[in-house]
Amino acid sequence: MPVDEVLLDLVMAFVKDQNDPSIKDKLQALQQILSAERDEFGEQKYICLAEVVQNWNEISPKEQEQFLEYLLYCFMRTREFHEGMKNSSMNWVRGLLQDIFTFLSKTGICCWRWEWGTVYNFLYKNGNVTDEAMKSREFLHLVDAGLAINTPYPLVLPPAREAHLILSFDFSAGDPLE
């Protein structure tokens, strides 16, 4: 008989009649079942259960009730712990799969639309700009600084602006204008 059924039978017998002589037999049956599962239940709790079973008729009804409540609490806590471990590992796997799916879907969308390095051109249709290329494109496609020269400015500074000096503060390894 499983531990849960024996424990339920014990509690139901106690609730019906606290002086029922079969309660001690049910406690002994529970003790016998738990002797095989000492590691899971805990040695200290098993010793406590053995003492209570021996002295069941000598302790007061209030102490008997408190012991049964404690026994139920221990079993519920053990069960919640094991179910929590199952749920936490399932939640971890579910979260990992969700993160992977989100990463792949967003990366796929960026590949499909080619959105990397694309920014809205604030000079689009601005009448004060003399460079036709800068005011005719709605979006600018910037190149990563490491691919062209190590600064993005030449891509947005056309010759019409007559820039003679570009200050580029580069803290990476190697020559920035190489």
**Mean pLDDT, contiguous 10-residue spans, the chain (178 residues):** 76 83 83 69 68 82 83 70 60 80 79 71 74 77 55 58 68 68
Structure tokens at 140: 């600018």
**Dihedral of CA 20/46/38/78: which sign?**
positive
Instruction: Give the pLDDT score at 12.
Output: 83
pLDDT of residue 147: 46
pLDDT digits (tens, 9 = 90+) for 129-158: 777 777 788 877 766 555 445 555 555 566
pTM of the model: 0.41
Q: What is the pLDDT of residue 60?
A: 86
Two tokens, residue 98: 């969700």
- Residue at 71: amino acid letter: L
